[in-house]
Every structure is written in structure tokens, then in C-alpha cells.
Amino acid sequence: MFSDKYIAQRLQKAEKLRELGYNPYDNKIDDKISISEFLAKNSDVKEKENQRDENRNFCVAGRIKFIRWMGKAAFLKIEDDTGMLQIYIARDNLPENYYNQVLKKTLEVGDIVYTCGYPFYTKTGELSLHANSLKILTKSIAPLPEKYHGLTDIEARYRQRYLDMIMNKEVKDVMKTRSKIVSLVRRFFEDKGFLEVETPMLHTVVGGANAKPFFTHHNALDIDMNLRIAPELFLKRLIVGGFEAVFEINRNFRNEGIDHTHNPEFTMIEFYWAYKRYEDLINITKELFDYLLTNLNLPKKLPFGDMEIDFDDVKVIPYKDALINLGGVPEDILDNVDKMKAYLKEKAGIEVEKHIDSVGKMWGELFDEFVESKLINPTFITEFPIDISPLARRNDEYPELADRFELFIAGREIANGFSELNDPVDQYERFKRQIENKALGDDEAAEMDEDYIKALSYGMAPTAGEGIGIDRLVMLLTNQHSIKDVILFPTMKPIKKEEN
């Protein structure tokens, strides 16, 4: 692991530090301030005589990103979590022989240092720190990429996220924005009176969504379990138990493909609201986006790649109307499974699987192919087929439809919500159909959850529930086009070790 010649050279320098009586992994740090604080507190130095103030003393710490040696002096650039600062060190301001025997022989780009001194402006007008002391806190034995933005290999960036963040400041900025978005979402729902809760990650029944699960085995109980694909059924148990507004922000796990919008583990917020309908969810979702745009200082017309998302142009479109008017699907085939299958094959070359055997399921196939990518501005698609909505309430007037919506922005699903099914008999029958679908080859179908049926049998108040994908939300609000760019450590295929 340490056989690389450059690492070997740096290890020798770390050993040199030890020989000179210095710990290359020191942790003796007195008071320090952040670089941004140093810059803010000392901007007035520019107005002083000689543009310096030797009566001030500040200590900062950070990673060296640049060194320029000039005989008896050197300029460094160090970076911390808040910014970059230039450091000037001179041989005659440091202990005897320290500059030549310690710093010049051991200090390198990548090292983390602690330095104290006074503020001054250079001839080029840059606020800097004139060091009276400087010590290595952490010796970096692996060299950084040669160029300042030298880590450009996409695979390497995702696999070595720590190095990606060292070299590419914008990566950290996106992750900071992600953290702020999660905090804002949490605050929004707390201010609305919702209670944040935590529900199990390990389930014994697959349910809450249509997806392939990850399985594991609990040794002590000697039972198979799965990582949750959604918290929905547990959150609705809490509504049965008497809570009226709950939410959870946490991970879900789905054993499916990886692409620019899918990662096997991902973050969602799901919230459930008693005595509300799906129309109320549409309204609160609009409020949430207004709240996020305002608090992130983002415009209502938001750039996203080569698109512009207009958040003042929000539409609500029934599913069937979207198929006809946006997807161009002939209306006269929408009640015939065979005709829809033939159309899909003719127009897109797609043959559907055996379990896609109903009008509603075929609508879903046609929607995915011909409509979804066209939904650029925020669009709530409503009146979903009941066949693809196993947990949603039937519409009173049109029982083949569900009181459900999905929100699409920039051609991708952002949120899914519906008035919840609280009829235990209807829910039981739908679970049975899911089991039948699984037998026909649908490996994303849910299982029978008898305890959930039992919970519903005690009575669940009329409720509306919604899930919003946090990762896709962050992608949208930070103009990122791969989910890997908004997840700190995305799932990657392991690199195979070369055989000797």
C-alpha cells in the first residue's frame, strides 16, 4: 500500500520530522479562527499605514494548496472549510534553522498546518497573514494531483470523495447546500406542526412501494429480513395510533439499477397528514418549493442544464389527458390492452412483460415512454389508474382511478402523494393482487402485510401522504445532473484487484 515512490519520499520526510523532534501528526492547537473570520476581521488593515497591523495576532489552520519558495521566504496558500488564505513565511521571523532545516526539508502541498501571525496586504492587494510561527499538524504522505483542479476522472472522484472535496471546492459547496436543503425541509414541516419520527430500517415484510428489496438474515432471531424500500406502512400505523401529522427523513434501499437518477440507497422525506386529501398535499408541496426557493435565494425561473424551470408556471393535468395531449397517444386505444401493446411496440420497439396485463398498467408503460420526459415545468399528474396505485384511495366517482398525484419537474419524478386507502377489506384484496402479480413475474410487487391490515381494521382517519426524493430535489436546486454528484459516497462497483 505504501510502495509508491512518491509516498515513500513523503514517509521519509515524516520520519525526518520525528528525528528533528517534531510529531508529524501533532494535535497541540491553541485558539484559532476560521479563514473567513480572519478575512472579515482584518479588511480594515488596508486603510492603515503600510497596510499592516503588527499589533494584531491571529492563528489559523488549514491544508496547503500551493507553495512558492523564494530563498529566504515563501508564500503558501492554505484552505479550510471557509476559504483560502495566503501565508507569508520568512526565515528571519522563525526560530533559528527552523525555516531551512524543518520547513524547506519537510513541508509540502497537502500538509495541514497551524500558523500564527499578523495581517497585512501584499503589493498585489491581497489580504494575507505574516507568519511568526508555523508547524505541521498532519503530514500528507499521499501527494495531491499535480494541478489545482487535477482530479477530473469521474470514477476516481466518486470513489475517492475525500480527494474530490480537497481538489474541487464546488463539490463541498453542493454538499453544504444539500445539508441546508434538508434542514429547511425539516423546519418547514416542524413549523406546520408535523412531528419527526423514526421507523424501522429492517422489515420482515416487503411493502410500502413497488421495488426490489435487499435481503439479510438476523442471526439471533434466525429470520430473514429486508432493508426497507419505504417507511410508508409504519408511518400510517402511527396515524392509526393517534398521531395526526408525522414525517420521516431517512434512507430507503432498493436493489435496482444505478443510473443518473437512481442509487441503491437514497434519502426521502415521507409525511402523513390526517384529515387531509391529496389536493391538500398539492398545495403544501407548492408552499414547500416557494419556501425553499426563498430561503436558498434562488429565482423562480431556475436554470437546470439547458432548461429553465418556471416555478410560476405550475400545472395540474389528469393522467389520461397527459397521455393524449402531451404523449400523443390515440384516445381510442386507451381502453384496449392489446392495442396499447401494439402501439408501444410500433412506436418505441418495446414489448411489455407478462404481468403488465391491464389497462391501468399499460397506461403506466405509455406514460413512462411518451410523457414523462416532456414535463419540464412543475406538473402535478393526477387521476392515476388504480392498478398501479395499490396503497391509494379509490376515487368516489371513478373507482378505476386513484386519488393520487405525482409531481414531475425537468422530466423526472420528484414527489408522489395520494389520499390513503383506509378500507382494510379493499387493502387486503389489493395485497392479494400484488401476490398474484409476483407469481406472474413482477419482482417489484409487495407482499401481504397482515399486521398492517390489522392496524387498518382499528380505523385510520382519512389521511393524505406523500414522499419526496431528497436527492432529486437537491439535484434540481443545485443544477446537478447525476445523483452521484449530490450523494457524499454513492454506491460504486468495486475495482477488481489485479491477479499476480
Judge contact between 245 and 269, C-beta under 8 A: no
Same fold, 5-144 and 167-327+371-485: no
**Interval 461-475: pLDDT, tens:** 999 999 999 999 999
pLDDT score, position 402: 97
pLDDT score, position 155: 84
pLDDT score, position 147: 57
C-alpha torsion sign, points 139, 145, 148, 152: negative
Of 161-170, 368-377, 472-481, which gets the smallest average pLDDT? Answer: 161-170
**Interval 387-415: pLDDT, tens:** 999 999 999 999 999 999 999 999 999 99
Higher local confidence (pLDDT), 493 or 400: 400
Tell me the mean pLDDT in the region 227-237.
96
Q: Are strands 112-121 and 58-69 parallel, antiparallel or unpaired?
A: antiparallel
Q: Which residues contact 293 (CB under 8 A, 6 or more apart)?
A: 299, 300, 302, 311, 477
Q: Which residues contact 305 (CB under 8 A, 6 or more apart)?
A: 410, 479, 481
Q: Which of 159, 156, 172 is nearest to 63 (CA)?
A: 172
**Interval 173-201: pLDDT, tens:** 999 999 999 999 999 999 999 999 999 99
DSSP for 87-131, please give it: EEEEGGGSSTTIIIIIIHHH--TT-EEEEEEEEEE-TTS-EEEEE
Walk across the sheet containing 215-218 and list its strands.
Answer: 202-203, 223-227, 215-218
**Interval 420-429: pLDDT, tens:** 999 999 999 9
Q: Is the pLDDT of residue 365 over 60?
A: yes
Could you give the CA distance from residue 32 to residue 117 in angstroms, rounded to a whole number?
A: 11
Judge contact between 26 and 137, C-beta under 8 A: yes
> Does the reported pTM lie above 0.75?
yes
CA atoms within 13 A on the CB side of 390: 24
Tell me the mean pLDDT in the region 74-101.
96
**Interval 109-165: pLDDT, tens:** 999 999 999 999 999 999 999 999 999 999 999 999 875 445 667 888 899 999 999
User: Domain coordinates of the chain in residue numbers?
Assistant: 5-144, 167-327+371-485
pLDDT score, position 148: 45
DSSP for 35-87, please give it: HHHHHHHTGGGGGSGGGB-TT--EEEEEEEEEEEE-SSEEEEEEEETTEEEEE
pLDDT score, position 494: 85
CA end-to-end span of the chain, whole Å?
Answer: 15
Q: Which residues contact 188 (CB under 8 A, 6 or more apart)?
A: 287, 288, 291, 292
Q: Is the pLDDT of residue 278 over 90?
A: yes
pLDDT score, position 440: 81
pLDDT score, position 498: 56
Average pLDDT, rounded, for the chain: 94
Q: Is the pLDDT of residue 499 over 70?
A: no
Percent of the chain having pLDDT more than 70? Answer: 97
Task: Report the top-level CATH class of 5-144.
Answer: mainly beta
Could you give the CA distance from residue 381 to residue 310 in angstroms, rounded to a whole number?
A: 17
* pLDDT classification of 493: cutoffs 50, 70, 90: confident
Tell me the mean pLDDT in the region 260-269.
96
C-alpha torsion sign, points 137, 141, 147, 148: negative
Could you give the CA distance from residue 318 to residue 417 in angstroms, rounded to a whole number?
A: 14
Tell me the mean pLDDT in the region 15-30.
95
Could you give the CA distance from residue 350 to residue 480 in angstroms, rounded to a whole number?
A: 30
The grid coordinates listed for 355 are 404481468
Q: In CATH, what is the architecture of 167-327+371-485? A: 2-Layer Sandwich (3.30)
The grid coordinates listed for 126 are 491581497
**Interval 38-55: pLDDT, tens:** 999 999 999 998 999 999
Percent of the chain having pLDDT more than 90? Answer: 88
pLDDT score, position 328: 97
- What's at 21, amino acid-wise? G
